[in-house]
Amino acid sequence: MRTGGQVLADQLKIHDVDTAFCVPGESYLALIDALHDASNEIKVISCRQEGGATNMAEAYGKLTGKPGIAMVTRAPGACNGSIGVHTAMQDSTPMVILIGQVARDQEYREAFQEVDYRQFYGALCKWVGQIERAERIPEMVSKAFHHAMSGRPGPVALALPEDMLRELTDVGDADRYKTARPGVDPADIDAMQAMIAAAERPLVIVGGGGWSESACADITEYATANGLPVAASFRCQDIADNNRDCYVGELGTSVNAALAGRVKDADLLLVVGARLGEMTTSG
């Protein structure tokens, strides 16, 4: 038999978590206790403010490609932590934020610092869940990691009722998450190459999350081989090597006038990973 907190800590180990960022709170003490026992496998970094914890988790996700883990207490902690979660959503960074919650027998009674996180975090995350029974922890944590890493990566939130974390269960563990990526139809590649060959003023725009070092090198080499200029979308300057001749600048808050004109005059935009949002398109 394990407590919910111990089951959750074990799932984090199974999903290859080695670092977590938090501000400790009484609403998830059972998880903190379990992570203390797992301190030789998971490093827990205690922060002064939850916004710092989620920003650190977001940076971890960007740098490693794995979901950054943040842990915050209920209501004020979740409010402070929402800043880094919003950044993760905007930048397509994988993240799992674990939020302490009131005990289950106090739900919907306006308990101290009670918030419905499915509503509060619903617009900030790819998916939000609340684990109501300890026996469902492996399933829900697996689902959270799959959501964070599937398709366009992003943040996922799990609310943890404090009494659920103290509940004893004999549930088994889930397997480590697996990331499925879409394949490419060769016919689509041929069609794209034909469009590039026919274009007189093509421009590549790179952005979004999930770029590995090899993928960054590949897109730069591809652009160079095909004589394509490359611009970076907002806050994605590091995807393309800025010292290569193909790099022409960033499409952000202070876009170069000549580059802005180049975007408007392009007869073909090859957009890889980037959202065509306000910043990248200058409205």
Residue 132 sits in the same domain as residue 223: no
Closest CA to 95 of 50, 148, 160: 148
pLDDT of res. 46 = 97
What per-residue confidence (pLDDT) applies to 113?
Answer: 87
In this structure, the answer to whether residues 164 and 193 fall within a common structural domain is: no
Domain boundary among 139, 169, 199: 169
Place of tokens 């490359």: 230
83 in a domain, yes or no? yes
Q: Which of 169, 196, 214 is the last residue of a domain?
A: 169
The reply to whether 51 and 80 lie within a common domain is yes
Is there a single domain that holds both residue 61 and residue 196?
A: no
> Is position 255 within any domain?
yes
Number of domains in the chain: 2
Residue 177 lies in a domain: no
Boundary of a domain, candidates 169, 203, 231: 169
The average pLDDT across 88-104 equals 96
Tell me: do 234 and 165 sit in the same domain. no
State whether 59 and 194 are in the same domain.
no
d(CA 150, CA 28): 27
Q: How confident is the model at residue 110 (pLDDT cuts 50, 70, 90)?
A: confident
Q: What is the pLDDT of residue 165?
A: 98
Same domain assignment for residues 147 and 48: yes
Domain shared by 164 and 235, yes or no = no
Residue 164 belongs to a domain = yes
What single letter denotes the amino acid at residue 155? P
**Which CATH number does the domain housing residue 266 bear?**
3.40.50.1220
Q: What is the pLDDT of residue 228?
A: 97
Distance CA(207)–CA(209), nearest Å, equals 7
Are 158 and 130 found together in one domain? yes
* Domain assignment of residue 211, given as a range: 186-281
167 band by pLDDT with thresholds 50, 70 and 90:
very high
Residue predicted with more confidence, 112 or 82:
82
Q: How far apart are CA 62 and CA 216, in angstroms?
A: 14
Do 98 and 12 lie in one domain? The reply is yes
| pLDDT, tens digit, 9 for 90 and up, residues 170-227 | 999 999 999 988 888 999 999 999 999 999 999 999 999 888 899 999 999 999 999 9
pLDDT band, very low/low/confident/very high, at 99 (cuts 50, 70, 90): very high
Between the alpha carbon of residue 247 and those of residues 176, 232, 243, 277, the distances in Å are 38, 8, 7, 21
| 156, 253: one domain | no
CATH number for 147: 3.40.50.970
Please give the model's pTM, rounded to 2 decimal places: 0.90
Residues 6+ apart with CB under 8 A from 233: 205, 206, 207, 208, 250, 251, 252, 274, 275, 279, 280
Tell me the average pLDDT of the chain: 95
Question: Is residue 176 included in any domain, yes or no?
Answer: no
- What's residue 27's pLDDT? 95
Considering the domain boundaries, does residue 155 fall inside one? yes
Residue 174 lies in a domain: no
pLDDT of 279 above 90: no
Query: Tens digits of per-residue pLDDT, 50-68?
Result: 999 999 999 999 999 999 9
Examine the pLDDT at 121 and tell me if it is beyond 90: yes
Domain shared by 138 and 46, yes or no: yes
